[in-house]
Structure 1
Amino acid sequence: MSIRTQDAPPRLNPAKFQHPEVTLKGERRAQVALTALDTLWVNTGTLCNITCANCYIESSPRNDALVYITPAEVAAYLDEAEGMGVREVGFTGGEPFMNPGLVPMLDDVLSRGLHALVLTNAMQPMRRYAEPLRALLARHGGARLVVRVSLDHHDAAVHDIERGAGSYARTMEGLEWMAREGFTIHVAGRVGFGHDGEAAMRAGYAAVFARHGIPVDATDPVALMLFPEMDAGRDVPEITEACWGILGKSPDSLMCASSRMVVKRRGAERPAVLACTLLAYDARFELGATLEEAARPVALNHPHCATFCVLGGASCSR
């Protein structure tokens, strides 16, 4: 197995992804309209219990650029989102379980009959809430609550390159605990961590899941999501209106056609709504203070739009 051994990719021309309406070549830039609000994402804050080697949002034990959002603030957005037909609420970070209000937020979501998705590393912050999580599961069952655990590679040594020595073992302990408690578990890995091919990656995960009693189907692309590596400095093509026909894709298939994310910036009086979970710091993707204000088209004016969504075909939602 080779790990990140490819030659360094070409670097991005800084003149790309600048104008909201046209590309560097003068072609009309693709835009995506919000067709339905299926998923509301909530960033619980950028603080995390670990510092990864390549975190798209630069989470760490010291990064509080996005501060803890409160249950009351989230409830106001849930009220608005319910009127727009939302079906799922996703919680991401940072590490969501660093936010002391996460379990009450989950309880609110599930009490409304909505689905909830939590992205976590399943380490100590989650385990601190063992009893409240058991109570949550007892009240609502496990069908509408999915916990997606970041396990970057099925090999411990490779995973620990990204997340630090011993992190694989601590995450596996969390996975085993959730399996014993009856939670619905999904796993997220990274395809950039090996070049053996997707089939081999899934086979490696399947062996780990079987060995540890983790009820995840490694052949299911939702239960085991393998995300493309994100490098905003890598040269990628700008997405034009013509690309939809060339690639045989519909703009409706992209995350920004069916989701929005709420964040609270350090020092801000109130949260803001962004177009995308991946672009928390780019002001061009901040769309307003309410979901109604944010229900406008999004210009695909960032390298992640091409790498992750259009060409990578990835989605953070189920």
Structure 2
Amino acid sequence: MNDLSPFAAAHLRLLDQAKFRDPLVTAAGEPRAQVAMTGLSTLWINTGTLCNLACRTCYIESSPRNDALVYISLAEAEAYLDEALALGTREIGFTGGEPFMNPDMIAMLDAALTRRFDVLVLTNAMRPMRRFEEPLLALRAERGARLTMRVSLDHYSKVIHEAERGIGTWDKAIAGVRWLNDHGFRLAIAGRQLPGEDLAQARAGYAALFADEGFMIDAFDPAAMVLFPEMDAAADVPEITTACWDILGKSPDSIMCASSRMVVKRKGEARPVVAACTLIPYDPQFTMGETLAEASRPVSLNHPHCARFCVLGGASCSA
């Protein structure tokens, strides 16, 4: 435990409580909510957990040293792209880690775009991405209408962004967004809605930043400016029961795992597997199988992230 970050240690303490132990019933003995798959709209491919940054509260603990999820190869990714194509999947999302740390990233982008998927890349737009300016420009020129680059800016203020990502990260990230903007890429931004900060305030802050920088991004469009709830692993959250759908006025079809899955390749394993969710890549109970067909079974909401991020937070990683 001493070797873990405060975020990871708090996460493990929470999982060690009575909650979130049984996939079928809650600690109070009530039936746990499940989400059935309505169809694979978005397939996420995790390119590996290595990243040029070590953010303070990264949910997946990405860093320059964490290779718990190793680089997926072009051949491995193409097998899932072909299966997704046969299933009628609309969108492929690439996430990490930092996707552009993976040496096959440009080839995987090309493979997804060639198959006419809409493609979303989650990046910090820093040095790993900038190494590939020429091939990225070529992809944009050929098939740019299907490619969206979503850049992480944790806040519209430099101080808060750098408190999460480290001193010196703001100017490099802004420079990366400016390069993408100036070269006509379809752009989106991912940020955080801080505790005590209402949604209108957060969007207005980003809108002012985009106007000052001349970025062609609509901060009031939820697809172009994605605001995620704060991921506080130490916070206690309620378990989601089957009765919660009616109480909250939500449909299980609106939850991310109803329409998406993520491919990961764990260190030491021979082949990639399909995880239920982008947020829970390590927990074996959320490993759905080796193929997309196997991964179509229902997901039991047996994790704090299910409540905090998706059901109560109303967030989704997809475009």
TM-score by length of 2: 0.94
Distance 2:288 2:44 in 1: 14
Computed over aligned residues only, the root mean square deviation of the Cα atoms, in angstroms, reads: 1.3
**Which whole-Å deviations, capped at 9, do the CAs of 1:161-198 have from their partners, x for residues lacking one?**
00000101100000000011100000011112x53322
What code does the residue aligned with 1:28 have? Answer: P
Equivalent residue runs for 1:45-194 within 5 Å: 45-140=48-143, 142-192=144-194
In the other structure, the counterpart of 2:273 is 272
Equivalent residue runs for 1:17-56 within 5 Å: 17-56=20-59
Distance 2:15 2:288 in 1: 26
SS at structure 2 position matched to 1:175 = helix
Once the two structures are TM-superposed, the CA of residue 12 in structure 1 deviates from its matched residue by 7.4
Once the two structures are TM-superposed, the CA of residue 78 in structure 1 deviates from its matched residue by 0.8
What code does the residue aligned with 1:39 have? Answer: T
Distance 1:139 1:96 in 2: 21
User: Where in structure 1 are there 5+ consecutive unaligned residues?
Assistant: 1-10
Bigger mean CA deviation after superposition, 43-52 or 13-22? 13-22
Identity of aligned residues (%): 63
User: Where in structure 2 are there 5+ consecutive unaligned residues?
Assistant: 1-13
Distance 1:203 1:231 in 2: 24
SS at structure 2 position matched to 1:16 = coil
Once the two structures are TM-superposed, the CA of residue 243 in structure 1 deviates from its matched residue by 0.6
Q: 1:29–1:300: 8 Å Cα contact kept in structure 2?
A: yes
Distance 2:281 2:211 in 1: 36
In the other structure, the counterpart of 1:7 is none
Bigger mean CA deviation after superposition, 129-138 or 198-207? 198-207
TM-score by length of 1: 0.94
Q: Considering fraction of residues, name the structure with more helix.
A: 2
User: Number of residues paired by the alignment?
Assistant: 307
In the other structure, the counterpart of 2:282 is 281
